[in-house]
Amino acid sequence: MRVTTTVFITGASRGIGEALAIEFGKMGYRVGLFSRNKEKLDQLKVKIENKGGEALVLPGDVRDINSIKNAYEKIEEIWKFPDIVIANAGVIYWKKSQDLEINEVHDIIDVNFSGFVNTVQLVLPRMIANGGGQIVGITSSAAFRGLPYLSIYSATKGGVLRYLEAIRVENKANNIDVTAICPGFINTSMVNKDIPSWLPLLFLMEPAECAKKIVAAINKKKKLYIFPIPILLLAKISPFISDSVYEKIFIPLTRWLFTKIK
């Protein structure tokens, strides 16, 4: 008898989360759809089922611990406990630090960091008890260095990247695979919102293409996956650049290159 893999995705109503849900659905996975927007989740469920997949709508908010607990209980009751959990929910504000409203600061922290940790912490003990599983975190290429206009966002993405690294090492003997995904610019409404005029979206990737790459990385159980290749190179180089070079040369040069190459 074939055992169907169950995957749980936060932030599933749009962007990368939606594209991942569709891709997993096409592959025959059972997909738990978690997001605040029930209407969009209902529409996504229909899309997945029209392509022959199975989907379960689980409305909720990653900032609410009980909301996540209830979703895990429901998916286990109807199918089984998730084999793969993808912490994907996130928000972004393209603003200088001094222009961020305090509620926007807390929105970024509460969703991108606290909500991310809520999602993982509530599933990790159960995965260990079940004998294993896979935790996937959608972080960002912004995790490697503080980016202008993305100060709080960069901090949260760097924080969850270090968090994923730690739980991967801690649970090496528990059959828990941990995969950190660091994409570049993806053509979503979240990324395109209020983006500064000086920053062309170089190497922009469509969500469907992005999802295929992420699913391949998950299936290979990669520890860290940064893409596309130009973003990988920038991410690998930037941490080793001194602060003065980073501020005076690297950032201005990157802006200039983005403008010229586009």
Buried b (16+ CB within 10 A) or exposed e, 57-86: bbbbbbbeeebbeebbeebeeeeebbbbbb
Give residue 262's pLDDT band: very low, low, confident or very high (50, 70, 90). Answer: very low
pLDDT at 97 over 70: yes
Q: Which domains does the chain have, with CATH numbers?
A: 6-237 (3.40.50.720)
The pLDDT > 90 percentage for the chain reads 69
Mean pLDDT, residues 186-193 taken together: 68
Give residue 95's pLDDT band: very low, low, confident or very high (50, 70, 90). Answer: confident
Give residue 202's pLDDT band: very low, low, confident or very high (50, 70, 90). Answer: low
pLDDT at 230 over 70: no
Mean pLDDT, residues 223-249 taken together: 72
232 vs 127 pLDDT, higher one: 127
Give residue 195's pLDDT band: very low, low, confident or very high (50, 70, 90). Answer: low
User: Which tokens is 82 given?
Assistant: 């998730």
pLDDT at 214: 97
pLDDT at 257 over 60: no
Answer whether 75's CB lies under 8 Å from 60's CB: no
Buried b (16+ CB within 10 A) or exposed e, 20-41: bbbbbbeeebbbbbbbbeeebb
pLDDT at 4: 80
Answer whether 120's CB lies under 8 Å from 85's CB: yes
pLDDT at 203 over 90: no
Buried b (16+ CB within 10 A) or exposed e, 107-142: bbbbbbbbbbbbbbebbbeebeeeeebbbbbbbbbb
Mean pLDDT of the chain: 88
pLDDT at 243 over 90: no
Structure pTM?
Answer: 0.88
42-46, 82-86, 190-194, 205-209: range with lowest mean pLDDT = 190-194
